[in-house]
Structure 1
Amino acid sequence: GEPVIHGFTRSFGLRLPDGERFEWVKPIMFSAGVGQMDDRHSDKGEPEKGMLVVKVGGPAYRIGIGGGAASSRVQSSENADLDFDAVQRGDAEMENRMNRLMRACCDLGERNPIVSVHDQGAGGNGNVLKEITEPAGAEYDIRKVLVGDPTLSVLEIWGAEYQENNALLIRPSDEDLFRSLAKRENCPISILGTITGDGRVVVRDSRDGSTPVDLPLELVLGKMPQKTFVDDHIPNEGRLKPLSLPDGTTVSGALDRVLRLLGVGSKRFLVHKVDRSVTGLVAQQQCVGPLQLPLSNVGVTAHTHFGTTGTAVACGEQPIKGLVDSAAMARMTVAEAMTNLMWAKISKLEDVKASGNWMYAAKLPGEGAKMYDACEALRDSLLALGCGIDGGKDSLSMAAKCGDEVVKAPGELTLTCYVTCPDVTKTVTPDLKCPASCGGKTKMLFIDLGGGKARLGGSALAQVYGQVGDDSPDMETFSTLKAAFLATQDLIEKGVILAGHDRSDGGLVTVLLEMAFAGNCSIDVMIPDAGGEIATLFNEEAGLVIEVSESDATAVMDAYKSVGVPCVDIGTASSGSDSIKISVGSSSPCVDDKMTALRDVWEATSFKLEMRQRNPECVAQEEAGLKSRKAPNWMLTYTPTPTDSAVMEGATKHKVAIIRQEGSNGDREMISAFLAAGFEAWDVSVADLLSENVTLDEFRGVVFVGGFSYADVLDSGKGWAGVIKFNKRV
């Protein structure tokens, strides 16, 4: 029941000039979530003697055994069986049930029975059951842990990293309330033990009377000795060479390659298989413009169905540049995250927080030193911006053994920024608008945040020619980035920016083309020369391109220049034609083609991948129709108006039961819709009906919501229907 509204993807495999191979043989799947909570529940309560330690969620299986250890060493075929056992398996339906139980507790406000909560991850029970009780200590019976496999040993029960599981602390007086909530959501719970207050974690086995674990928490959590890691920087001399393009390389030839690169081209093949609207709170998802191309800079969600405040989230990551300079990579990662986030109107820059995810082969020579340099650069960058980093994760064994060769993944820092939005409707998207009010013609402005430099190291251009280069883009002056961020926010508040996009993978030429692709528009621009056509168009220094009306162009340029940010008029965008003209300096156009033809190239790799996962005939039809596709003529046959106040304020309203089953979603937005229409909407689970806590004869209407009941297996709807049909009480 969760939407996916923002993301990135890339691929890479290359030998450096010294023969070292970098590739994601050991792949990365990155995910992050953003939500909101009642401030009353933001701090964990301290463990007190007599409190109950509870596990909620699915049973233990022989999965994720030693997962934390397995993810901390080089992957190879010699330990494939161990790796398989270490893999965690997800159970989305159980996750849904557990989350509903957690939400039900939080919805009680001051009566929330949860004192403290801790998610189970690396180390399984052996970690989460120690950490949640620190420093008080607890005693457990290992046989109280719910198991799905009776052959599990005590060691496996204690160490398995099975997912969809949380540990909680509750007071004994709240046990009955908590059990009733869990029963309603059909979420398994088990009370494993109690807080003892003696500072020890003790695990007993009631089956044989043994005590497998008896440790002072202070030694295993509090006074662990600091570990010192020693690494040396490996000089770049001999490892890297300057970028050298083949003789006769043209802008059009380079552009054809770059637009087909996975990290630059369309991500259509990804966004078509995820839900981008569930919850009814998604204000900005990946797709923008009349053709809904996946090009949004930022994801935005509303806090409620009845207001316009919300949260913005945006990512930054530039791993290939880290092969040249890891510190520059970190700074460019921050710059990318900020130039993505700035298109949503936020509360203020100081409210921005970030989660940093590090994926490095840090135990191999030279890689730990690179990561240290990147970490220092990240710290300094965020301090310069006045933003905080308050979370993160790491995987420091990103290497795999292929035959006799160790293949390292490029060091990756993914920075996910999130911040509150006072108005989710004030979000700028990359698609050119060229509104009729402007005569179908607008101005394109370029804001260069790279100090006029045009470095090509670690760029998409270098990658498509099988190189890395030796001079990476960098963000030397964060004061300029900060000034640009604040100026852009002010202009968004005034409503003068029609479209905006950041310069990143693929360079300025890609920015311009993507804005035209998404808006189904033409452009005619001339870019100041920064060192030749190819360097000017394909460098990936930080920068912005915005679309404004001709009448606002001068004032917008003055707004940026007044805070020391360079901003130049580079040309026009227009609707009703199919043309791309891009010049560098005063020369004739180096890109002169149909917009639809270039868009086909940008979409080509995505459609090739789609052919491998969907009906090829359908994919071919979709690809062929893209050239002539226009925006749908959206129109309502009525004018929406709020429900009459007499109905909303009436003493009696029609009662409607919104019925859900395990795994259902869409119920909360359905409730909101009925509330907005003036009904008295009730959340009714099938469990309520089976227990006869609720009967339907008191309702005037019944609504069955959609979603993924019973894990969305084939015929899952029959399971839901069967529970009702074959139960006489219902």
Structure 2
Amino acid sequence: MENFHVKLYSKAVEFRKKGQIERDFEKKFNKKLDFSVEYCYHFITDEPEFLTKNWEKLESLLSHSPFEKTVWRESQFNLNDGKIIEIGPRTAVKTASCTNILSVFESCEIQNVKRIERGIRYLITEDVNLDDFFEVAADKMTEEIYPTNVKFEDKIHSIENVFLIDVLASKQNLIDANVQLGLALDEFDLDFYYDFFVNKVKKNPTDVELFDLAQSDSEHSRHWFFRGEIWIDGQKREHSLMKTIRNSLDHSNDNSLIAFCDNSSSIRGFERVWRLIPSDPSTVSPLISNPSPSHLIYSAETHNFPTAVCPFQGATTGTGGRIRDIHATGRGAYEIAGTVGYSFGNLNIPGLSLPWEDNSFVYPTSISEPTKIAIEASNGASDYGNKFGEPVICGFARSFGQRLENGERCEYLKPIMFSGGIGAIDEDEIHKEKCSPHQKLVKIGGPVYRIGVGGGAASSVSVQGNRDNHLDFAAVQRGDAEMGGKLHRVVRACAERIGGNPLMSIHDQGAGGNGNVIKELVEGCGVTVRSDTFQLGDESISLRELWTAEYQENDAALVDPSLLEALRTIAKREKCHVSVVGDVVEEQRVKLIGKEGEIAVDLDTRQLGEREKKVFHLKSVPRVLKKLELPNGLTVREALGRVLKLPTVASKRYLTCKVDRSVTGLVAQQQCIGPLHTPLADVAVVALSHFDTPEISFTSRPYIFSSNRLLILMFCDMIQ
């Protein structure tokens, strides 16, 4: 059937990047830039009269406001006024926005649309180099410059084949693969895997297996430093950092229900909490008030590497990943509210010279400058939370960058972004069921994209910015808050289902992708996974990418076969995809089989076993500090003015006034307080129920988180 490529043009009313692009271009290329912007919607349809039949609906849906129609069949740009450059999503990839828009079209009975993507058209009056403009205006990993006759039709893509690394012949081949694939394996890892493949399993690994093991066993995923043996100045530390922190559980008086074993931690809550739940989550049904024991959960993480490389997208997934940590606790839980923090160096804002800032600091090409992090990271986290529907009710911002007396440069690099969230879990959902044969292994959520490939290794590099740029950009994830909302509603509906929760065990997909999350789920059993059962967002995905890409907004779960249809019914109502990708088997072996029957992964998980602790030899470095010397003539007023200009102290309205702070109806206090709604509060309070106060039985401790305690939370997250 013939496909038709139809275009519609729209006014770029909400386009906020214009000023940032102009500033970045001038700073990078020392040249001023002036341009206008419009959107171009590309429709691929098999209906020749598509526009005529659906014009009124399209005009209403794509216009910025119902009171102003801003959609046209012809571009408003005049070619004689300058040069037109259009940048849009890569044509080989069906974007998350396309998936969401097609879902809306289906509800509006707009049919016969195979794909819709939105490009951004720039009318530039000056003569500029295409590559220079693309560098500052586009996302290098997900966008491209469109030619005039851009094609979106399906085409045969070149898919990278699975290949063997000949470790049996030489250890050097493993060392070379470590560099080429960006595995971030240290000498200890290289020795371990060389011995594993040569002496234990006596086979050459595929690129998929090696990439999988590198992500799953990375510092990011396994916390080798916190679990390791640490020597400081020749003295062995009595306990590992992990052991030291876990010792605190000995004094918890059984108040801790989940710790160091799941996506979040949990403490005892209340004996009876009245919560509104649907009587039947698979269809339209009355809400009922249901009393049940409810416990308190908290999850926190820093999202440093992705936010440093791509601040907006990195921060969206910092928020999204932490939300999925909440709902993937136990067999399914509920998020309530979030908190967020940002740490960055000196901002060096143009036109605002501050005496303590050093504008000579240079950053690696793959690391964003502090101003971009402060603006775009906060925009990304706020954007995700607003679209998802989670209020941010407290947080912090810290700025520091200084050259010390000994010449050492001291500046925030880790943490850059902190994301925390609070939620609740029903008592009967706290413990995950152990895997057993005949359970179904399912993937729930968004389709597979070439996004977040090698994130575990990238986040584990000791010095950020030392790798090839293409490896860093490939490892950054992209958030899709709409899909995140659908996925969360499916998990919540399963947990609230009166007839039994279909989810026996659930984990959110993070670093290492399918390879990591599936091995976690089937620990003690095995599974054979077929690649052709996954929903693909990009047909050119290789098996290595399918198995190890994070691609976000996705969970893996073990499902009771008798309740599989109930899960599918719930997911269909929420317009969220469910793929059954394997059956749990008794043999402790994980296999991945390609479309052509090739075996990309075949690992006996028992042979991997527990690895020895890594040993770290550290030396303490004394700080050479300089006595504070105040400038001559500095007045109290001038000193106070400097303090109030420091981002750590200055007004946080630029953070609080663009994010939801009270959605859900469960927020008792957030940052903005008093008659002027000023962001001064250092404590935020939430409720568990829309009804009366809960009956307190387990504990009477207040359910509060304070920005003064966030440093403790960040430290705890690093060892989870």
Q: Please report the TM-score for the alignment, with normalisation by the length of structure 1.
A: 0.44
Instruction: Specify the structure having the higher radius of gyration (Cα).
Output: 1
Pick 1 or 2: higher relative contact order, CA cutoff 8 A, min separation 6: 2
